[in-house]
Structure 1
Amino acid sequence: MLLDVIQGLETGGFVIIQDSVHCSGRQLLQSFVSAALKQKEDVHVVAFDVREEDLHVGLDSTCIQRLCFHDGHTDPLGWTECPPFTVHQFTSSDIHALLRQSQHEKPVILVIDSLSWVLRHHPPAVVCQCLQELRRGGTVRSMVALLHSDLHQQGTVGSLCHLATAVVSVAPGVRGQHTVAKTTKRSKSGKVTQEEECFIITQDLTVAVQAQTHHPGHRHAEQEESQVDPAAQLTFNLRLSEAEKEAKDKLSLPFVFSQEKKTALLQPRPGTGQIIYEPDANDDFDQEDPDDDLDV
């Protein structure tokens, strides 16, 4: 599933890479950038955490020429006279204006490194609203963002991940030989699928999946097999035998009428009367308020 997310950035898609102090997700973010550039996509990177030279490590020289880098790392708070890009400019209108200056013919892929820096200077609700407006603006085809999840409250992380179409959480593998990625993908129909995979990233930023640690279809079966029977240690029996089930099915309940009894009750008998009501002119019956004549 991880390779599908990397290679298939759909229109309107939003991918969040969650990392922590124990495992960095920046190299995986660079793999997303490299894969998009190799597919001839127009990629714009808004970077607050790293310099442009650090982001270029591992990228092909032809890909670097087509990469648009917006420097928010040099002066993120705008302390100099002419800052390249500040965190205060992280609004949908400013970013749309920044992307239109590049004069690309098609919508671009926006990469944010990282959302954690933005969340330090903007409320979570403002950031979520900005991301939603960017997805609907038409200038941005899809987005990929890095989020340091251990720097924020669980509610903030959950709100941002709720906006995403795919969330990739990275964690260190056994003995540091590989990295474990837990991918959660939400389809347009609302179906959510999860998968855990072990992967490595080569020098050319290609992701190679080594093993699949968990398959969604197998996990449910294993959980069912490991469930403990709550009625196994009781001193009385909660289940019925086959003979008891057969006797129960044959039992006639007192409030259930048989077909013969229904026929006997519904069949007209001689000597029965019939009530006929003919309203006169003084009757004033309101269909909307049948109880209008009552003094209540």
Structure 2
Amino acid sequence: MLLDIMQTNEVGGLVIIQDTVDCCGRQLLKGFIHCALKRDEVVHVLGFEVCENEFRGGLDSKFTQGLYFHDGYTDPLGWTECPPLTVHHFTPQDINTCLSQSEQLKTVTLVVDSLSWILRHHSPAIVCQRLQELRRGGALRSVLLLLHSDMHQQGIVGSLCHLATAVILVAPGMSGQHTVAKTTRRTKSGRVTREEECFSVSEDLTITIEAQSSCSGKTLPEPEEYEADPAANLTFNLRLSEVEREAKEKLSLPFVFSQEKKSALLHPRPGAGRILYEPDDNDDFDQEDPDDDLDV
């Protein structure tokens, strides 16, 4: 699945690479960039953590003509008079200005290294909103983010991953020679697929899958929701036993007449009382004006 995500540049895709202090994900990030440049795509990098020379290290110079590095490493907070890029420039307007430096006819991929720098100076709600605006703007084909997940609260990481079409969590392997990628991919239909793979990144940034786990490629079922029993901890019993249920069914309600009682009421027996009424001369049976005798 990891290679499939790299080779298939999904329109409107948002890929998040999560790493921790135990395992850095920048080499995998550069592997994605290397693959995009080989497809003749334009890649814009918002770099806040390493300088441009260090970031370009390992990338093939034959393909780096389509790589645009926007320097947020030199002055990320804008302390100098004219900083090239700061964390406050993380707006759709400023990013579109950066994207205008490249050819308009080519596919554009935006890379943020790293989003943790942005989250330190913007609220998570603002970051999520601006990521959605970038995806819907039409200028970008895909967005690739590096996120240091151990620097943020789990709720913030979960909110960002909810926006992503693919989340790749990198962790050190058991042997120490390979890196484990735990990939979660969400399709447009809502289907979620998880896969765990061992991979390695060579010096020329070629990614090789070394091994896959036994559950690779399987769609994991959603966890069943547990419904709590509202009558579990009550001091009285809301359920009926078999004896109580039989007694309830035999009980006749006071205002529900049986068939025999209905027949007795509708068909009076001989000798039953009757009401005889003779109309008076002043009785008014005009239904159109029942108050005619009141002289109003």
TM-score range, shorter chain: 0.7 to 0.9
1: distance between equivalents of 2:71 and 2:111? 12
Say if 2:121 is the partner of 1:121. Answer: yes
Q: Using a 3 Å threshold, how does the CA distance of structure 1 residues 190 and 66 change in structure 2: closer, same or farther?
A: same
Matched with 2:243 is: none
| Alpha-carbon shift at residue 220 of structure 1 (Å) | 7.1
| Alpha-carbon shift at residue 70 of structure 1 (Å) | 0.4
Identify the structure with the greater helix proportion.
1
Rg: which structure is higher? 2
Matched with 2:25 is: 25
Q: Using a 3 Å threshold, how does the CA distance of structure 1 residues 217 and 124 change in structure 2: closer, same or farther?
A: closer
Matched with 2:91 is: 91
8 A contact 1:181–1:196 mirrored in 2: yes
Query: Which amino acid letter does the alignment assign opposite residue 200 of structure 2?
Result: I
Q: Using a 3 Å threshold, how does the CA distance of structure 1 residues 17 and 52 change in structure 2: closer, same or farther?
A: same
RMSD: 2.2
> Equivalent residue of 1:198, what SS?
strand
8 A contact 2:194–2:219 mirrored in 1: no
| Alpha-carbon shift at residue 174 of structure 1 (Å) | 1.4
8 A contact 2:195–2:218 mirrored in 1: no
Query: Which amino acid letter does the alignment assign opposite residue 91 of structure 1?
Result: T
1: distance between equivalents of 2:130 and 2:58? 31
| Alpha-carbon shift at residue 107 of structure 1 (Å) | 4.2
Q: How many residues align?
A: 227
Residues 188-199 of structure 1 aligned to structure 2 (within 5 Å): 188-199=188-199
Normalised by the size of structure 2, how large is the TM-score?
Answer: 0.73
8 A contact 1:100–1:139 mirrored in 2: no
8 A contact 1:76–1:85 mirrored in 2: yes
Matched with 1:138 is: 138
Matched with 2:165 is: 165
> Equivalent residue of 1:210, what SS?
strand
Say if 2:59 is the partner of 1:73. Answer: no
Q: Using a 3 Å threshold, how does the CA distance of structure 1 residues 51 and 81 change in structure 2: closer, same or farther?
A: same
Following TM superposition, the consecutive aligned residue runs of length 4 or more in structure 1 with deviations greater than 3 angstroms are: 216-221
2: distance between equivalents of 1:160 and 1:220? 21
Matched with 1:101 is: 101
Matched with 1:41 is: 41
Normalised by the size of structure 1, how large is the TM-score?
Answer: 0.73
8 A contact 1:59–1:204 mirrored in 2: yes
CA displacement 1:109-137 (0-9 Å, x = unmatched): 00000000000000000000110000011
> Equivalent residue of 1:18, what SS?
strand
Query: Which amino acid letter does the alignment assign opposite residue 112 of structure 1?
Result: V
1: distance between equivalents of 2:42 and 2:7? 14
- Percent of matched pairs sharing the same residue: 62
Once the two structures are overlaid, the 10-residue window that deviates more, 94-103 or 125-134, is 94-103
